[in-house]
Structure 1
Amino acid sequence: MASHRFTIGQMVRLVSTQGLSPAAAVTYTIAAPMPVYQDSPQYKLWNAELHQGRVALERDLEAVGTV
């Protein structure tokens, strides 16, 4: 079973914004892990600046500001 790679509070970016509204946020904070779906962990995401939340699969996310 796949394990979650990102942690609560970590900043992530959507890999693709295709199909999203131009007003949609691109970067989010991990709010909570969710169960695996279609062989990929998923997460609840939150963008505080735009007050936007969404759910995304781990394969559709990349870490922001990793060293």
Structure 2
Amino acid sequence: MSPHRFAIGQSVHLKNRINQSDTTEGVYRITATLPERDNSPQYRIRNDGERHERVATENTLVLVDTPLVATGFN
């Protein structure tokens, strides 16, 4: 069993796939980790603009780059 690369609460994008609809674009938040499917860990993900959660395998997700927050310390 492979370890999960993403943690609950992290933000991700779904990778572009052929025939992907516009409704799957956007930022999703990891809400739960699930067992592997086809040798890839699975996740429950949610977009705040949707009323449901999705299940996605790790190989279809990309971590969202978050900007560094200025701390005020120099």
- Give the TM-score, by structure 1 length: 0.83
Matches within 5 A, 1:18-33: 18-33=18-33
Distance 1:23 1:56 in 2: 15
Distance 2:25 2:51 in 1: 9
Provide structure 2 residue ranges, at least 5 long, that are not aligned to the other structure. Answer: 69-74
State the match for 1:47 in structure 2: 47
Percentage of identical aligned residues: 39
Which has the greater radius of gyration?
A: 2
Matches within 5 A, 1:1-67: 1-65=1-65
By percentage of residues, which structure has more strand?
A: 1
- Give the TM-score, by structure 2 length: 0.76
Count of residue correspondences: 67
